[in-house]
Amino acid sequence: MKSWTILPVGDSALLVKLGEGIDLATNRQAHALARSLAEGGEAGLGECVPSYTSVLVHYNPLALTYAQAARAVEAAVESLAALPDWQPRVVEIPVVYGGEFGPDLEFVARHNRLSEEEVIRLHCLPDYPVYMMGFSPGFPYLGGLDPRITAPRLERPRERVAAGSVGIAGAQTGVYPIESPGGWRIIGRTPLRLFDLRREPPFLLAPGDVVRFVPIERMPDGPMGA
């Protein structure tokens, strides 16, 4: 009995649902499928966008019918088990925690009855898989936040959150790639540019990467484009 489904999305895309619950194994399947389709070069298939548990596959309706696109994608799904192991790219993100760069660090510590130092230690402890990208260009949704440092969103979102701000919302953590409104609890800031149109590709991170946060004492004099 297959555990996945393929559904039409408009007249030029289809959605492959690989599961219902958010977990690392299903998410890795989504990334593997997206890579397989992108590298396979199937004529008529276009961009593949992985999310937590699914992959959106665009196709050219002038080159493929929906049925043809679905058959090509189905063959790729059925071949997932035979794909070689893939080692994710590890990206270290330096962060200045607290102070003017992390105005909510004190709240997160108080909310969880921890010291600020312990919140920083716990935030830097895991390797965070990039489950998906969204919300704004280059924003990574990361899995693996320690449940001891979860925190509720702000009751009233900030109108402006600086680019590079590192935040916590519920059981999630992430990094704001550009200045934008936001309701996450900001605990620090990185000097790295997560989104830069002058860079190719413009995104520092990609779905399937692994993020490691590294505490630093101060911001460098100039922005880091890494």
Q: Considering the domain delimited by 5-82, tell me its CATH architecture.
A: 2-Layer Sandwich (3.30)
pLDDT at position 36: 87
Topology of 90-215 in CATH? Cyclophilin (2.40.100)
3-state helix, strand, coil in the chain (%, to 5): 25, 30, 45
Residue 204: what pLDDT?
Answer: 92
> Given a cut of 70, is residue 192 above it in pLDDT?
yes
- In the chain, where the domains are located: 5-82, 90-215
Comparison of pLDDT for 80 and 32, the residue scoring more: 32
pTM summary value: 0.81
Conformational region of residue 35, where left means phi above 0, alpha means psi within -120 to 50, and beta covers everything else: alpha
Q: How far is CA 38 from CA 44, 48, 49, 60, 74, in A?
A: 11, 7, 10, 14, 14
- Is the pLDDT confidence value at 145 over 70? yes
Pairing of strands 210-215, 128-133: antiparallel
pLDDT at 79 over 90: no
CA distance 143 to 187: 17
Query: What digits encode the pLDDT tens for the residues 87-113?
Result: 888 999 999 999 999 999 999 999 999
Radius of gyration for the chain, computed over Cα atoms and rounded to the nearest angstrom: 19
